[in-house]
Structure 1
């Protein structure tokens, strides 16, 4: 009986190892293909930012920093992934990967692949400013500005820009003009003023800034 149990255990371990190696190999191939495709995918964004020398058009340095304070505080220093919450939160780089490298993103293994591509393809092969330009583009900041305010992104005043940032890419629930948007703007203003702290990178709703 003990011998049978031992054999079953060895079989289970062997299957688990084989599954892990298969998954690792699949993800490695995905990253390899992503590295080949990345220069072409980001060519327009590198051109728009003078190969990373310039900020994305339409946004001042101050507004870029406001956006990053809310969306991705460690953007300038991380390697595409914030390792304090690599699979539960989304950096600017990961957000771009989700939009540009997936046709049908699903939670689970797609999140792992998204994280690996962000770290080993996009981060080492593209400039930070090109990543920002891609983020603004794929998340529709310009058309959203036109839709909600009838202005270009560059023409928004500070309150309108903050209201746009507060949608958190979720205009269905946090559209400018709604109570939910106004509440999030209030929290962001408190956070930017140093009156409350973010509870880690995954605290996108700034829970400590409520009340």
Structure 2
């Protein structure tokens, strides 16, 4: 039993070490190849605070991973790391072989795979917080319309509200934030009632009328009874 557990632990550590070495070797190449790394989208302090309250409360203080209330299993950094290392630019040679292997591992076991968390730590060492934030806003998935993916906050503002992101009212901006946890599940055109409910809940969170009840509370269901 002990030998079996030791073998499993050794295999896991070896896997994570290889992931870290690979991610460190390809990070710069992927950052250069990914659109939006240096494209800055300005948000006023209120909008920024609202986004972070829902997506990553400790974004500017953590090093890629965090366990704040309402954080759940992902940070903005780990979301960017997943997309950057696994779902973006295709690598060549041995780097591409490992990229394909990690894609398969994440596809099969993303709920328990720690590889993405290691990639988040590596990303943090290669990209500034501003670059991480740029990548998140410019490349986040905001659902699909007529089979076409809506990618980035500017595209989402135009697709769902017909406006530029900076021109959105607070309610519309909160409506975009509401989608990020599951863009097609809380799609305002397909599931307007679910989207409205989710928007109402996060509005109460970002305005301070309610708060996440723990690390894994991402639904804020208890906020429904709060005025």
Give the TM-score normalised by the residue count of structure 2.
Answer: 0.74
CA distance in 2, matches of 1:123, 1:13: 35
Distance in 1 between the 2:46 and 2:68 partners?
A: 26
Query: Which position in structure 1 is the counterpart of 2:127?
Result: 126
3-state secondary structure, aligned to 2:179: coil
Query: Counterparts of 1:78-89 in structure 2 under 5 Å?
Result: 78-83=62-67, 89=73
> What is the 5 A alignment of 1:72-151?
72-83=56-67, 89-103=73-87, 104=103, 105-106=106-107, 107-108=109-110, 111-119=113-121, 121-139=122-140, 140=151, 141-151=153-163
Query: In the alignment, which residue of structure 2 is the partner of 1:66?
Result: 50
Q: 1:196 to 1:47 in 2, by over 3 A?
A: closer
The alpha-carbon deviation at position 109 of structure 1 amounts to: 7.2
Tell me: CA distance 1:76–1:201, structure 2 relative to 1, closer, same or farther (3 Å).
farther
| Residue in structure 2 matching 1:198, options 191, 202, 212 | 212
1:155 aligns with 2:167: yes
Gaps of 5+ in 2: 88-102, 141-150
Cα distance in 2 for partners of 1:210, 1:195 equals 11
Identify the range of structure 1 (21-30 vs 57-66) with the bigger mean alpha-carbon deviation.
57-66
Structure with the larger helix share? 1
| TM-score (norm. length: structure 1) | 0.79
Deviation at 1:127, TM superposition (A): 0.9
Following the alignment from structure 1 to structure 2, what is the Cα–Cα distance between the partners of residues 93 and 151?
Answer: 27
Q: Which has the higher Rg, Structure 1 or Structure 2? A: 1
